Structure 1
Amino acid sequence: MRFRSIVLPLALIAAVTSTGGCVVAIGGAALGSAMVLSDRRSTGIQVEDAEIEHRVNDVITQRFGTATHVDVASYNQRVLLTGNALSAADRAEIERLAAGCRGVRQVINEIRVGTYGGVRSFLADTELAGKVRSALLEQKTLPGGVIQVVCSDGTVYLMGLVGAQEAQTAESAVQRVSGVRRVVALFEVLTDAQLAQYRRGTAQNPSAGPAAVGSGQ
C-alpha cells in the first residue's frame, strides 16, 4: 500500500489522528479547499501543482509498480521527491521520469536508497507533521497557508513563497520541535517589493521569479 507524504497548509484547522485513513483525507480532500483560499500561489498554479503530482505519480507507478515507495509534492511547479528506492539507479531513474513530466520546472530528489519503514514510519511522520503545523501556527508573524510541510522519516521539508524573515522564523520554529531530525528549507524567497504586492493582493504568481533557497540541518 502506498501512503502519501503529509502535506499540510498552516490554515488547515484539522486534527491529525493516528489512523491512516483520516490522515489521507486531511492531506487530500480537506487540503484542497483550504489551500485555494490562503495560498500565495495563484489558483491556476495550485491546480497545475495537483496535476503535476498526478502525472509524476503515474509515470513512477507505470515504471516501478509497487517496487518503490516514492511520495511526490509539487509546489509552484517545483517537485519534491521523498521516500525510498531499492537502488541508486532506481533513484536516478525516478528523478529523470519526474523531470520529463509536463509543467515541472525543477526536481528536488530526496529519495533514500533502502527499504520503506512501513505503517509505523508513516504514523510517526503523521504525528510529527501535526506538531510542526502547530509550531508554525504559533508564530504570529507567519500568515496562515503560505507554507507547505512535508515530513519523511523525521525530516521536515518546508516549501512556500515567503519573505526572508518569514523563512527564518519558520525554520527556527521547526528546529525546536521535538522529534524533528532535520529541517530542509526549500522556500522561494520573495523580494520586499514582491512581498508587499502579496500583502496588497496585487501580486502575479512568480512561477519562475523568486530565488529558491534550500538549507538543511
Structure 2
Amino acid sequence: MQKTKLTLAAATLIVALPMLQGCIEAAVIGGAAAMGVMTAHDRRSTGVQTDDETTEWKAMQRVPEKYKAFSHLNFTAYNRRVLITGEVPNEEAKTLIGEQTRQLEGVREVFNELNIAPTSPLGNRTNDSYITSKLKARLVDSNQLSANHIKVVTENGVAYLMGIVNDREAKVAVAVARTTDGVRRVVTIMEVVSESDTRRIDTSAPGGARNAPPQTAPVETR
C-alpha cells in the first residue's frame, strides 16, 4: 500500500513538472518585463544608469580604511552627478572623500553634503527610509509626474531630490516633499530642462494634473 502511494506521488510530480516549469518561466519573464518598464520610464539612458551604479560602488571602495569604521556614508549617482550624504569624524575626511569622488571617471558634479558628526543610530536611518517611502508614494498619488523621474534620498530628515525634470515637475516634487510628514528640509539637486526636452525623452506623457499641496518645509537649491 505504501509503495503504491509513493508511485502515485511520483507520477503526479512528473506530470506537474512541465506546468511548474511554465509558472517559473512566467515569473522570470514577468520580472524581466517589469524591470524593462522601470528602465524605459527612467530619463537616463541604460548606459548612464549602469555607469551611475558603477560610480556609487567605486566611490564607496575609495573611502580610506581609517575613516570607514567611524563614518556612515551614502553615495547616490544620478546622470553622472553624485550626492554624498552621511556622517564623518572630521573636516579632513569630508574633503578627502569629496575629492576622491570627483576624480572618478565620468563624474560631472559632486554634492558633498556630509555632516561632521558621530554616525547616526540605526533608528534614524530606519526613519529616513520610511520618510523616503512616504515621499515616493505621495509623488505617485499626486498624479502630476512619474515617480521614476525623481530620485529621493533622505538623511536625518533632510530630503534630497535628484532627477531630470521640467520646471512644472520640479515645482510639484518640491511641494510634495515640503509637505511630507517627517521632512525637516528639502534640498533640490534636480536638473531642470525644458518641457519639450522631457517630452522628447519620455516614452509616455505624464498623468493628469492636480493642484500642488501647500508648501511648508524650507527648500535649498544646490
Q: TM-score, normalised by structure 1?
A: 0.75
Whether 2:145 is the aligned partner of 1:136: answer: no
Q: Secondary structure at the match of 1:60?
A: coil
Of residues 79, 94, 100, the one that matches 1:76 is 79
Whether 2:199 is the aligned partner of 1:196: answer: yes
**Cα 1:34–1:111 shift into 2, 3 Å:** farther
Whether 2:46 is the aligned partner of 1:46: answer: no
Which residue identity is paired with 1:75?
Y
Could you say which structure has the larger radius of gyration?
2
| 2:123 paired residue number | 120
| Cα distance in structure 1, aligned partners of 2:38 and 2:46 | 9
Report matched runs for 1:25-36 at 5 Å. Answer: 35-36=38-39
Shift of 1:62: 4.5
Structure with the larger helix share: 2
Whether 2:91 is the aligned partner of 1:88: answer: yes
- Greater RCO, CA 8 A, separation 6+: 1
**Cα 1:153–1:34 shift into 2, 3 Å:** farther
Please list the CA deviations of residues 9-61 of structure 1 after superposition, one character each: whole Å capped at 9, or x if unmatched.
Answer: xxxxxxxxxxxxxxxxxxxxxx9777423211000000000000011011015
Which residue identity is paired with 1:69?
H
Please list the CA deviations of residues 63-94 of structure 1 after superposition, one character each: whole Å capped at 9, or x if unmatched.
Answer: 63322211100000000000001011111111
Structure 1: unaligned runs, 5 residues or longer: 1-30, 202-213
Cα RMSD over matched residues? 2.2
| 1:180 paired residue number | 183
- Percent sequence identity is 28
**Cα 1:81–1:170 shift into 2, 3 Å:** same
Higher mean alpha-carbon deviation, 64-73 vs 152-161, is at 64-73
Which residue identity is paired with 1:182?
R
Q: Secondary structure at the match of 1:91?
A: helix
Could you list the structure 1 runs, at least 4 aligned residues long, displaced by more than 3 angstroms after superposition.
31-35
Is the Cα contact below 8 Å between 2:132 and 2:154 reproduced in 1? yes
Q: TM-score, normalised by structure 2?
A: 0.73
Structure 2: unaligned runs, 5 residues or longer: 1-33, 205-218
